[in-house]
Structure 1
Amino acid sequence: MSCGNHHETPCDEVLARVYTYLDGELDQGGCGEVREHLDECGPCLREYGLEEAVKKLVNKSCACEQAPDDLRTKVLGRIEEICGEIKTASDAGTSGTA
């Protein structure tokens, strides 16, 4: 998509980063680029508004369901196991180097 106007950051690039921007996962520079573009570009701002509304609707629809506590405990335990395995493998790999 392009609005036909020249922008420092192209429309396609901004729209590809909309979800990352909405999720707060862009670095400060990326956020600034997206905000600046949205301030200048009506079509991209409308698309952003649509994506923001969809995200809010999905969040509202799914926010009431939580994972059971035992599932959460199992998942966190498995993550700790994997982290321990990775650390052990990493330590074993670096201990033989001088």
Structure 2
Amino acid sequence: MSTDPAHRNHDHEHPSASDCVDFLEQIVYFIDNELDEADCAAVRLHLDTCNPCLAKYDLQRTVKAVVARSCSETAPAELRARVMMRVRQVQIEIRES
């Protein structure tokens, strides 16, 4: 358990938005391994004891994995052609308005 008084008073069953906001802001950096070791340890401890934040972490990690996988796939040529045609149509509509 953390010795931080703010964390000690944190109700992990029913956290308020302000209780978890700092940890939720760090989740993306935690997933990307962009935090220093002390911040990583703090986020890990919080996730180990706070189910709502853990659920948000799992969702963020899943979304990031799906986006990464989707971005590596090549779109079919027909789709690219349709998208480019629509882009040209929008450009023409913008010029004419």
2:20 matches 1:11: yes
2:55 matches 1:46: yes
For each residue in 1:25-61, what CA deviation from the matched residue of structure 2 results, as whole angstroms up to 9, or x when unmatched? 0000110000000000000000000000000000101
2:66 matches 1:57: yes
Paired AA for residue 27 in structure 1: D
**Percent identity over the alignment?**
40
- Deviating above 6 A after TM superposition, structure 1's stretches of 4 or more consecutive aligned residues are none
TM-score (norm 1): 0.56
Match of 1:27 among 9, 16, 36: 36
- Counterpart CA distance in 1 for 2:56 and 2:35 is 18
1:17 match: secondary structure: helix
The number of residues matched between the two structures is: 60
- Counterpart CA distance in 1 for 2:38 and 2:61 is 20
Where does the alignment leave 5 or more consecutive residues of structure 1 unmatched?
A: 66-98
2:29 match: secondary structure: helix
Paired AA for residue 5 in structure 1: D
TM-score (norm 2): 0.56
- Counterpart CA distance in 1 for 2:35 and 2:71 is 24
> 2:88 corresponds to which residue?
none
CA RMSD of aligned residues (A): 2.0
